[in-house]
Amino acid sequence: MAYDKFTILKSPAVPLPIENVDTDQIIPARFLKATERKGFGDNLFRDWRYNSDGTPKADFVLNNPTYKGKILVGGKNFGSGSSREHAAWAVYDYGFRAVVSSFFADIFKGNCLNIGVLPVQVSPQFLERIFTAIHANPDTELEINLPEQRITLLETGESEQFDISSYKKENLMNGFDDIDYLQNIKPEIQEFAKQLPL
Amino acid sequence: MSSTLFDKVWDSHVVRHIEGGPDVVFIDRHMIHEVTSPVAFLGLKNRGIKVLYPQRTFATADHNTPTINQHLPVADPLSANQLKALEANSAEHGISHWGLGHQKNGIVHVVGPEYGITQPGATIVCGDSHTSTHGAFGAIAFGIGTSEVEMVLASQCIMQPKPKKMRINITGSLGFGVTPKDVALFIISKLTTSGATGYFVEYAGKVFEEMTMEGRMTVCNLSIEMGARGGMIAPDETTFNYIKGREFTPKGEAWDKAMAYWQTLKTDADAVFDKEYTFDGSEIEPMITYGTNPGMGIGISKDIPNAEAVEGGKATYEKSLNYMGFHEGEAMIGKPVDYVFIGSCTNGRIEDFRAFASIVKGRHKAENVTAWLVPGSHIVEAKIKEEGLLDIFTEAGFVLRQPGCSACLAMNDDKIPAGKYAVSTSNRNFEGRQGPGSRTLLASPLVAAAAAVTGKVTDPRELMK
Ligand code: SF4
């Protein structure tokens, strides 16, 4: 599925300083019943965001108009648990284009990269700096520069380099996905399959 | 050069390596289910692509299915729609489809091994993180996202960087009343839920060598709960005896050829792992979790640790205990239990029901407990009946339900109500995992049985004397 190309993102950020945010929180299983990829953002963090009667929980960050932006900043081990890509879809559909954390769960990270959400892994110290800066000024902006692989707190100029494979970087900057690539090497795959023992 | 079991299987499936990027890895077997596949098929349709190797993909409906009255139409229209989509997509692309009511229907990670789809040395993926289960056979098996499901349907390949390698050795023998589930919960409690992120794990040592295939499946199943991509165990006689003669395993000459290959699938003596842990099996107790991730587990006789003693932020820890309605320093023994769930791809196999029966036999379900007994497949269900376990359950006041994922993820009607405590043999105790507001205590089938007959958290060893 096509997604917005990613180059440089400048935005305030929404802080969620909780560790081990699992994909069941990002999108609970009962909202996985769709057969199309539509509307998942409405149920992003459903049970943290809404009471059981559907009224918003005032103390949850997504319901707090002070915080906004296209960047979600989460605590360590973000996205653990289920492989449901719906979690990444919900993040994208809600309007986030990047998630920042000091550590990501593997499958969630891969899912994000496949659908055009950039996972930015920073040091625990830099993560703390970001949380502190947002806390002091909710309008503070972050810049995520994918070509240079750099994240910057614009107010102070503090910045950090982040890792991404050159292949995935290329994909995100151009809006390509892996299926485009795989389609092009189909004959090679079919040849390979012939010599497999199973 | 010496290599690990993981290297041998992974390297033999690499179609090409992309400089500065992932490997293109060929996938031997692909399992799909109703929840994570519809959008992948939609993607194929939009691109105008057919499934490349339909005979390598197997479809079963499990996540979203009712566990009673399966002969009736599925009441929830959204669930019914997903089931229909799976059926239609499978038919369109020529994929074997074991839908609701089909004799081979069941939880994807239970039926794969039962029918011999799971084999040593294979690469196996499914849009479900507990695909790691199949690693018990010396396969590389892991969960993938829907974009990757689409990739595998389109090209039979995925694109991933090769993970790092970890070995977890458990020496010695397990004590009385200690099961594979306890081994897994013990390891996760030591490594935490992110301790193996970025790694593929090999389990080794006497405890695993002596373990049954079903036990190995339970352990590998839970690999993902410490963040690992997957876990695997070298195939041995136990493995070969288990798979021989199953529907999809090779026969005759093909079997001999396969065996010759499978026997080479072990880690070389001098192979090096990026990380290695060793634990003593005799130190493991029956385990139970007290928090909202599977790493928050303790020996059942222990008290809930103080925040200072656990890794991770105090705020996160307090939030978790608060959700559970527990306090630091409290004992787990004696905590009242409202629900008991035995089932899931972690503990929904026949040995699990035998263990459960061994304790409830001659006792009675506690008044305050609602119990859901959900077999992982029709084969498990049939064995429960054949072996007389059903009679034991019925006499003790329990009812057997029909196969499916059920309360493991509570997508169907099997939801634990808000605020209630469930001792559950499944794999996740996340907030709301078993229904909004539900509180889950993960444990083995023995601990679940002890809770079911006493109505509270009880050391099963007390009932096994
Ligand atoms: S039983 Fe639970 S973990 Fe296993 S496949 Fe079903 S939902 Fe996934």
Question: A103–B293: do the CB atoms touch at under 8 Å?
Answer: no
pLDDT score for A197: 75
Question: Do both B354 and B274 map to the same domain?
Answer: no
Q: Does a structural domain hold residue B252?
A: no
**How many structural domains are present in chain A?**
1
pLDDT score for B87: 97
pLDDT score for B315: 86
Q: Output b/e per residue, B385-416; b: 16+ Cβ within 10 A.
A: eeeebbebbeebbbebbbbbbbbbbbbbebbb
B56 vs A128: CA distance, rounded Å: 47
CA-angle at A114, arms to A108 and A119, nearest 5°: 50
Q: Does a structural domain hold residue B318?
A: yes
User: Mean pLDDT over residues B302-315, rounded?
Assistant: 87
B400 vs B343: CA distance, rounded Å: 11
Taking 80 as the threshold, does the pLDDT of residue B145 lie above it?
A: yes
Question: Do both B434 and B350 map to the same domain?
Answer: yes
Give residue B274 CA to ligand 1 midpoint distance, Å: 30
Domain boundary among B160, B192, B223: B160
**How many structural domains are present in chain B?**
3
pLDDT score for A198: 66
For B398, the token pair is: 């329990």
Tell me the shortest Cα–Cα distance from A189 to chain B, in angstroms. 7
Question: Do both B54 and B148 map to the same domain?
Answer: yes
Question: Do both B195 and B155 map to the same domain?
Answer: no
Q: Does a structural domain hold residue A3?
A: no
Question: Do both B25 and B70 map to the same domain?
Answer: yes
B256 vs B313: CA distance, rounded Å: 54
Per cent of chain B over pLDDT 90 is: 97
* Cβ atoms A135, A105 nearer than 8 A: no
* Cβ atoms B293, A78 nearer than 8 A: no
Question: B411–A29: do the CB atoms touch at under 8 Å?
Answer: yes
- Residues in chain A predicted with pLDDT less than 70, given as ranges, are 1-2, 198
Question: Do both B173 and B151 map to the same domain?
Answer: no
Question: Do both B366 and B326 map to the same domain?
Answer: yes
Q: Looking at chain A, which residue has its C-alpha nearest residue B129?
A: A83
pLDDT score for A1: 59
Residue A76 belongs to domain spanning: 8-194
**Listed ranges A103-112, B208-217, B306-315; the one with the highest mean pLDDT:** B208-217
pLDDT score for A81: 87
Taking 80 as the threshold, does the pLDDT of residue B258 lie above it?
A: yes
Give residue B63 CA to ligand 1 midpoint distance, Å: 7
Domain containing residue A90: CATH number:
3.20.19.10
Q: Does a structural domain hold residue A182?
A: yes
Q: Does a structural domain hold residue A177?
A: yes
Name the nearest CA neighbour of B35 among B75, B63, B59. Answer: B63
User: Mean pLDDT over residues B344-368, rounded?
Assistant: 98
Q: Does a structural domain hold residue A88?
A: yes
pLDDT score for B314: 85
Question: Do both B354 and B399 map to the same domain?
Answer: yes
Question: Do both B180 and B76 map to the same domain?
Answer: no
Q: Looking at chain B, which residue has its C-alpha nearest residue A81?
A: B225
Per cent of chain B over pLDDT 70 is: 100
Tell me the shortest Cα–Cα distance from B115 to chain A, in angstroms. 15
Q: Does a structural domain hold residue B312?
A: yes
Residue B216 belongs to domain spanning: 164-233+262-283
Q: Which numbered atom of ligand 1 lies nearest the CA of B33? A: 5
Domain containing residue B13: CATH number:
3.30.499.10
Give B310 or B295, the one with higher predicted confidence. B295
Question: Do both B273 and B411 map to the same domain?
Answer: no
User: Mean pLDDT over residues B330-335, rounded?
Assistant: 98
Taking 70 as the threshold, does the pLDDT of residue B26 lie above it?
A: yes
Query: Could you say which of B20, B38, B52 has the minimum Cβ distance to residue A35?
Result: B38
Question: Do both B193 and B322 map to the same domain?
Answer: no
Tell me the shortest Cα–Cα distance from A1 to chain B, in angstroms. 7
Give whole-number Cα distances, A21 to B35, B90, B244, B434, in Å.
Answer: 22, 34, 42, 17
B320 vs B310: CA distance, rounded Å: 12
Taking 80 as the threshold, does the pLDDT of residue B382 lie above it?
A: yes
**Smallest CA separation from ligand 1 atom 4, residue:** B345
Question: Do both B216 and B268 map to the same domain?
Answer: yes
Q: Does a structural domain hold residue B82?
A: yes
